[in-house]
Chains A and B, each alone.
Chain A
Amino acid sequence: MAEERRQKQCSVILPTESMKAMAESVGVGQLQEESCVAISEEVSYRIKEIAQDALKFMHHGKRRKLTTSDIDNALKLKNVEPLYGFQSQEFIPFRFASGGGRELHFYEEREVDLSDIINTPLPRVPLDVSLKAPKEQQKAESTEPLKVAKPGQEEEAAIQGKSQGATAADGKGKEKGLIRLKPRSTHELSVEQQLYYKEITEACVGSCEAKRAEALQSIATDPGLYQMLPRFSTFISEGVRVNVVQNNLALLIYLMRMVKALMDNPTLYLEKYLHELIPAVVTCIVSKQLCLRPDVDNHWALRDFAARLMAQSCKTFSTTTNNIQSRITKTFTKSWLDDKTQWTTRYGCIAGLAELGPDVIKTLILPRLTVEGARIKAVMEGPVVSNIDKIGADHVQSLLLKHCASVIAKIRPQPDNVEQYRTDYGYLGPMLCSHVMKARTQAALQAQQVNRTTLTITQPRPTLSVSQSGLSGSTGPRTPSIIKVPSSLTLMSPRPGTPSQPSPPATKYIVMATSAGTATTQQVITLSSSQSASPVTSTVPSATSTLQPLVKLESGSGPGLTGSRPLQKYIVVSLPSSASSSLEPKSSVIPTSISSTSLEAGMKMERSESPGASTQSPH
């Protein structure tokens, strides 16, 4: 075939008729046949030569199409004056005509009315060349998670065309490519992606907890979600907006769990969607009312959880350019300082600030302890205003104590004098003092440094379920029984083990729990494996001494474990919570104790065991 083509190339020359026609057009009447042949051969050769040179220009112009300018340049190379101003509206500007036994192609030159040209409006100025770099690197055939390019100076590029918002996927920047005279481009999802999106969102806010766990797992681990990210983010932000108005606590919690799953996914780069996600999260922290019955429902847990999400996103995304952390801090501080702020919002602000780390606590919260203490005192000891206020003040108080104690323990010199504390911190002083002392003993006893306030959740571990045991004898304002639909309110739900899915090889959890000051009940840790279906229950007696934290290390496989599963280790240490806990590994069947789940305890566990988990083998 190549040969054929080559031969063709060899023999193609312009027909002599063309020569004749051209000669006539310039006034040469009778051209000899031989002259025609000679001229056509010569012309054909020169045309081929110029075409070959023009190809060279095309190659160097890094193009695939030969343009007229290439031919101009090739002519210049041969010292021939190029054809200036050649342009045609159509692809082939020639017209065909036949007559008098001859066939002709000619270039149609219409008469142009000058006034038409003058009166036509100027065409739009073409867009200027601009340079664009995507925030996320290009992704190709590989399905493995991409290393997210560090937002270093290269990507921090001051690039034009940055304004394509969340409508377009941020995967490959180029698909937005050249947008001419078209302000936005919508990015179509494939049918499969649409189905997936529908399933996931339905499962996330649906009633089936198992499905939800699966959906969240998928969001947290699947690598190819970047195209759906804008949809998810809009879904969440719209969802929060609607459900805050309707005070639908459960849905808000589900949405926050979605946010967490998105943040856990290492292949997603959320920075471009923070403008939607952060307002949603902050709403869940500081909103005045999140549930229909603020006196009974445990919306505090949601605030805590959202505050931790906020802190995590500050750590991950705050840069010198966007200043997320300082902006968020300002927002919280401002509404906290406002006297008219309600207790719910106050609680959210403090929780949000406290999660940002000990430095923030030290600089922003500690100085305000006295003022806040006075406020709490006014509610607690003053005339009974309303039950809601009282509950709120109570929560704020325990929140402050919880967060400040560990910080104070670090910055204050040793002798903890109650009086001294009272003068320094006012109403909260004495309670703070006892908490600080507790924190000190704890710190001294724990070989492993647990600095709770700086913990971040670094790995996607959505399947670990921690729930409060029903055996807990802890009572107080936050009894688990308040919660209406307890099982659907667990933030971290156990996922029923499916036989097809391999069990995680070595599951190790470190759980920290402290018995409440007066608690003498036993903490039951229930472990069960899906294969065995016989729960391995190890009962750890609570320390008799009230301040003794529990540190128990259990090693060795339980009797019910199948041989294929490797050794499991559970390290149980104390948790400053008044609740005892029960913990199920990923593949466990749901034990009965789950039914009385305390959201609060669940989330405390969730957070505080994270450093341990991060040092252990991930599952």
Chain B
Amino acid sequence: FRAVPDDGGLVDADEDKDIKTEASNDSWGNNNANDGRLLSPSPGSSASAGSNKSAAGASEEQQTLLAVLQFLRKNKLTESVEILRREAGLPEDSLEPKGADSLLSRVTASSTAGAQAPTKVAAGEDQPDVNVVLSAYSQQGDPALYEVYYSGLKRFIESVLDCHRAELSQVFYPLFVHMYLELVYNNHESEAKAFFEKFSGDQECYYEDDLRVLSSLTKKEHMRGNETLLDFRTSKFVLRISRDSYQLLKRHLQERQNNQIWNIIQEHLYIDIFDGMPRSKSQIDAMSGSLAGEAKREANKAKVYYGLLKEPEIELPLDDEDEEAENEEGKPKKKKPKKDSLGSKSKKQDPNAPSQNRIPLPELKDSDKLDKIMYMKEATKRIRLGPDNLPSICFYSFLNAYQGLTAVDFTDDSSLIAGGFADSTVRVWSVTPKKLRKVKSAADLNLIDKESDDVLERIMDEKTASESKILCGHSGPVYGISFSPDRNYLLSSSEDGTVRLWSLQTFTCLVGYKGHNYPVWDTQFSPHGYYFVSGGHDRVARLWATDHYQPLRMFSGHLADVTCTRFHPNSNYVATGSSDRTIRLWDVLNGNCVRIFTGHKGPIHALAFSPNGKFLASGATDGRVLLWDIGHGLMVGELKGHTDTIYSLRFSRDGEILASGSMDNTVRLWDATKAFDDLETDDFTAATGHIHLQDNSQELLLGTYMTKSTPVIHLHFTRRNLLLAAGAYNP
């Protein structure tokens, strides 16, 4: 893995030409060269400021200088101002007109900068305009007029033609939030309250959570350190509006001289204009709901190699020798010319698959090959599922867990179960008659005959055999847990900010990966082992390799906690779900965000890739499962039925059935084949990305299975397509 620098600096503004596809986040300054705007460096983030300087062109450098001069002057360091000004060769009046006061207002957030004289800005698209973006909410209109402006716009939008109304209504929410924040920022507390009370009821119900946060915030001081607000200020809310509707809005605002609103639209909203028919209300509702609006269209344009990697060629023993081979597992496999049909099929290179060595993957060990053989054998015995042939479900109940079970994982061969608990422990159970044994101590290992055939058997300490083992080491609830594909390791992520790697041979902790300073919500091993991904409260997902104590990649861009992380079956991509109600797909090779999916109305808690790598399913607190086409970057389905948070999603081994498990104590089975088939017969226009979702959840729902009082927090299909579910009985 030397090909990529492992300094984690993948999000450096310099090398990131794709960065404009992401909304920048407060801890990483981004330099958007195209429109020359400087997006919000975070307070005190001198590193990002530095990178801006080095990367930007001359004009931006000058502006940075201006900002520095401004700062110096503000602090009455007149001499320094003079010297710097002279050195930089700037004219004396260069500081006057626009003044980077807003930069200061962020750097010294408690200063009175915000209350400064309003700065009027000619919002020319072509002119670099530091001021506009940076002065978050410093403009001041008459606070009393805000309500008038807003209701004026509301009246206008309500009076336009139906076809435009739905589209233009999207403006309400971001406008409302920004106007409210402006009022708060400028210390118009009572006006802000009145404004909020008057109009908050108009907003779409799915913004309620955010509105709750907003409602508690009534003072300028509160805005400091409130992440939700930072997100609003630092990222542009993205709206997709058809050209006609946009023209209508623009004309209206210009006619009314409604600069207040126009400014907000210019500064804080990103309007993605498209040509063609305006979208309907249902189309808009399907895609909206995220913290920062919809994804920009170009954000989902990058090519994604969603195909599967070629399976390594493994010589398979003939079928009739199956039994024999199973008995002699310990021996190296025999060379047999006969190939399994699976092997020959995978010979053809999928055009959508990444090249085999795009990401360096670990070499297969002998034991891995044996496991692959076992897998193929099991696969031949797999039950073909379908609407008429639903899987049997075996439910593993955790008893006496007292609400303490926070994470569960099964090994791929369904032989082990691991549970993470709120009391910081991790427990591993063997669900086969084979008990869990530790390796003998070093002294004892010296005594055994290393040449003997059953050396692997001899190194195990029979005295330690038990059905379950407890792993202690974390100092907070364990929120994420994942077995390595070879069943030798176990990962766990915890509230204490660490990810730990455990050996399942010795049942001890091998490494504690520190990097997340906040709770780590989820972690998962790559399907090929070696790599793993973690995501947490610090809004960053990190890619690690087990033998590096520092992350290889940092995927930053989410505006709120990264709540769940999943590897693509080909290990080249990582999907992350977040509390900002978006799902992002990241390229492991270069750390770029290649897809942003919006449409969920609540924090996302479950993700699952289809086995063919083409589709992604996601589940959130809103109880809906959304289906996404990765190649086209489109939402392709919505499955409604659950009444509470979906904590687990899993496709059957052949991808025909999608199982979802939820807090509402049910497992539901969905007809995935039909969900994706219907889509292919539709001729959706990938170019516009407008989707017509049929409301066919009821047809796709194949079964609902209730537990008595056990939230379903994990699902797993065995290699033969038996569905295993797990949860803690909750009396």
Do A and B interact?
yes
Q: Which residues of A contact B (CB under 8 A)?
A: 2-3, 6-7, 9-11, 41-42, 44-45, 48-49, 52, 56-57, 59-65, 67, 69, 73, 76-77, 126-134, 137-142, 146-150, 152-161, 172-175, 177-180, 321
Any A CB within 8 A of the CB of B27: no
Q: Collect the chain B residues with CB atoms within 8 Å of residue A141's CB.
A: 703-706
Q: Collect the chain B residues with CB atoms within 8 Å of residue A140's CB.
A: 703-706
Are B518 and A77 in contact, CB atoms less than 8 angstroms apart? yes
Contact with A along B683-726 (1 / 0, CB 8 A): 00000000000000000000111111111010000101010100
Given pairs A48-B216, A73-B495, 14 additional interface contacts (CB within 8 A)? A6-B212, A41-B218, A49-B226, A52-B212, A56-B537, A57-B477, A62-B406, A132-B399, A137-B394, A140-B705, A141-B706, A149-B394, A153-B414, A158-B430
Q: Collect the chain A residues with CB atoms within 8 Å of residue B140's CB.
A: none
Are A133 and B397 in contact, CB atoms less than 8 angstroms apart? yes
Are B208 and A129 in contact, CB atoms less than 8 angstroms apart? no
Are A6 and B663 in contact, CB atoms less than 8 angstroms apart? no
Among the interface residues A2, A126, A159, A173, which one has the most CB atoms of the partner chain B within 10 A? A173
Are A59 and B603 in contact, CB atoms less than 8 angstroms apart? yes
Closest 6 CB pairs of A and B: A3-B201, A157-B431, A10-B215, A140-B705, A48-B216, A127-B400
Q: Which residue of B lies closest to A138 (CB)?
A: B395
Q: Which residue of A lies closest to B211 (CB)?
A: A6
Q: Collect the chain A residues with CB atoms within 8 Å of residue B709's CB.
A: 174, 177
Contact with A along B171-212 (1 / 0, CB 8 A): 000000000000000000000010011001100010010011
Known: A9-B212, A129-B398. A174 touches B703 (CB 8 A): no
Any A CB within 8 A of the CB of B519: yes
Any A CB within 8 A of the CB of B647: yes
Cα(A9)–Cα(B427), bound, Å: 41
Cα(A156)–Cα(B219), bound, Å: 61
Any A CB within 8 A of the CB of B31: no
Are A133 and B394 in contact, CB atoms less than 8 angstroms apart? yes
Cα(A127)–Cα(B731), bound, Å: 14
Any A CB within 8 A of the CB of B429: yes
Cα(A172)–Cα(B430), bound, Å: 22
Q: Collect the chain B residues with CB atoms within 8 Å of residue A9's CB.
A: 212, 215-216
Are A154 and B724 in contact, CB atoms less than 8 angstroms apart? yes
Q: Is the interface of A mostly helix, strand, loop or mixed?
A: loop
Q: Shortest CB–CB separation between residue A403 and chain B, in angstroms?
A: 31
Cα(A134)–Cα(B521), bound, Å: 30
Known: A9-B212, A157-B432. A62 touches B197 (CB 8 A): no
Are B394 and A134 in contact, CB atoms less than 8 angstroms apart? yes
Cα(A59)–Cα(B417), bound, Å: 22
Cα(A148)–Cα(B205), bound, Å: 45
Known: A48-B216, A177-B731. A138 touches B707 (CB 8 A): yes
Q: Shortest CB–CB separation between residue B410 and chain A, in angstroms?
A: 10
Any A CB within 8 A of the CB of B579: yes
Are A138 and B705 in contact, CB atoms less than 8 angstroms apart? yes
Cα(A65)–Cα(B395), bound, Å: 23
Are A175 and B708 in contact, CB atoms less than 8 angstroms apart? yes
Q: Which residue of A lies closest to B605 (CB)?
A: A59
Cα(A149)–Cα(B718), bound, Å: 12
Among the interface residues B205, B395, B399, which one has the most CB atoms of the partner chain A within 10 A? B399
Q: Collect the chain B residues with CB atoms within 8 Å of residue A146's CB.
A: 392
Known: A45-B217, A52-B213. A178 touches B729 (CB 8 A): yes
Known: A174-B707, A174-B729. A6 touches B399 (CB 8 A): no
Are A62 and B405 in contact, CB atoms less than 8 angstroms apart? yes
Are B400 and A6 in contact, CB atoms less than 8 angstroms apart? no
Are A137 and B395 in contact, CB atoms less than 8 angstroms apart? yes
Contact with A along B521-542 (1 / 0, CB 8 A): 1000000000000000100000
Show 12 A/B contacts (Cβ-Cβ < 8 Å), sorted by A.
A6-B201, A10-B200, A60-B521, A129-B399, A131-B398, A134-B395, A138-B707, A152-B720, A157-B396, A172-B395, A177-B399, A177-B708
Q: Collect the chain B residues with CB atoms within 8 Å of residue A128's CB.
A: 400
Q: Collect the chain B residues with CB atoms within 8 Å of residue A130's CB.
A: 398-400
Are A129 and B479 in contact, CB atoms less than 8 angstroms apart? no
Are B196 and A61 in contact, CB atoms less than 8 angstroms apart? no
Contact with A along B421-432 (1 / 0, CB 8 A): 110000101111
Cα(A150)–Cα(B467), bound, Å: 22
Are A45 and B208 in contact, CB atoms less than 8 angstroms apart? no
Tell me which of A7, A60, A69, A131 contacts B399 (CB under 8 A).
A131
Any A CB within 8 A of the CB of B419: yes
Are A180 and B561 in contact, CB atoms less than 8 angstroms apart? no
Q: Collect the chain B residues with CB atoms within 8 Å of residue A156's CB.
A: 432-433
Cα(A57)–Cα(B563), bound, Å: 11
Q: Collect the chain A residues with CB atoms within 8 Å of residue B429's CB.
A: 131
Cα(A334)–Cα(B406), bound, Å: 54
Q: Shortest CB–CB separation between residue B364 and chain A, in angstroms?
A: 24
Q: Collect the chain A residues with CB atoms within 8 Å of residue B728's CB.
A: 62
Q: Collect the chain B residues with CB atoms within 8 Å of residue A64's CB.
A: 663
Q: Which residue of B lies closest to A157 (CB)?
A: B431
Any A CB within 8 A of the CB of B4: no
Q: Which residue of B lies closest to A144 (CB)?
A: B390
Q: Shortest CB–CB separation between residue A271 and chain B, in angstroms?
A: 15
Q: Collect the chain B residues with CB atoms within 8 Å of residue A49's CB.
A: 216, 226
Are B398 and A73 in contact, CB atoms less than 8 angstroms apart? no
Are B519 and A77 in contact, CB atoms less than 8 angstroms apart? yes
Q: Collect the chain B residues with CB atoms within 8 Å of residue A76's CB.
A: 495
Any A CB within 8 A of the CB of B261: no
Are A73 and B476 in contact, CB atoms less than 8 angstroms apart? yes
Q: Shortest CB–CB separation between residue B476 and chain A, in angstroms?
A: 7
Cα(A60)–Cα(B731), bound, Å: 19
Are B705 and A154 in contact, CB atoms less than 8 angstroms apart? no
Tell me which of B211, B212, B394, B401 contacts A155 (CB under 8 A).
B394
Are B731 and A10 in contact, CB atoms less than 8 angstroms apart? no
Known: A45-B216, A142-B703. A178 touches B399 (CB 8 A): yes
Q: Shortest CB–CB separation between residue B394 and chain A, in angstroms?
A: 6
Any A CB within 8 A of the CB of B402: yes
Q: Which residue of B lies closest to A159 (CB)?
A: B431
Cα(A534)–Cα(B728), bound, Å: 64
Known: A64-B663, A127-B400, A140-B706. A149 touches B216 (CB 8 A): no
Q: Collect the chain B residues with CB atoms within 8 Å of residue A57's CB.
A: 477, 495, 519
Q: Collect the chain B residues with CB atoms within 8 Å of residue A139's CB.
A: 705
Are A161 and B399 in contact, CB atoms less than 8 angstroms apart? yes
Contact with A along B593-627 (1 / 0, CB 8 A): 00000000001010000000000000001000000
Q: Collect the chain A residues with CB atoms within 8 Å of residue B392's CB.
A: 137, 146-149
Are B729 and A131 in contact, CB atoms less than 8 angstroms apart? no
Among the interface residues A11, A77, A153, A174, which one has the most CB atoms of the partner chain B within 10 A? A174
Any A CB within 8 A of the CB of B468: yes
List which B198-251 residues lie within 8 A (CB) of chain A. Answer: 200-201, 205, 208, 211-213, 215-219, 221-222, 226
Q: Collect the chain B residues with CB atoms within 8 Å of residue A177's CB.
A: 397, 399, 708-710, 729, 731
Q: Collect the chain A residues with CB atoms within 8 Å of residue B518's CB.
A: 77
Known: A77-B537, A137-B392, A155-B394. A6 touches B200 (CB 8 A): yes
Are A178 and B400 in contact, CB atoms less than 8 angstroms apart? yes
Any A CB within 8 A of the CB of B253: no
Any A CB within 8 A of the CB of B252: no
Q: Collect the chain A residues with CB atoms within 8 Å of residue B708's CB.
A: 172, 174-175, 177
Cα(A445)–Cα(B40), bound, Å: 95
Q: Shortest CB–CB separation between residue A78 and chain B, in angstroms?
A: 9
Q: Collect the chain A residues with CB atoms within 8 Å of residue B414's CB.
A: 153-154
Q: Collect the chain B residues with CB atoms within 8 Å of residue A148's CB.
A: 392
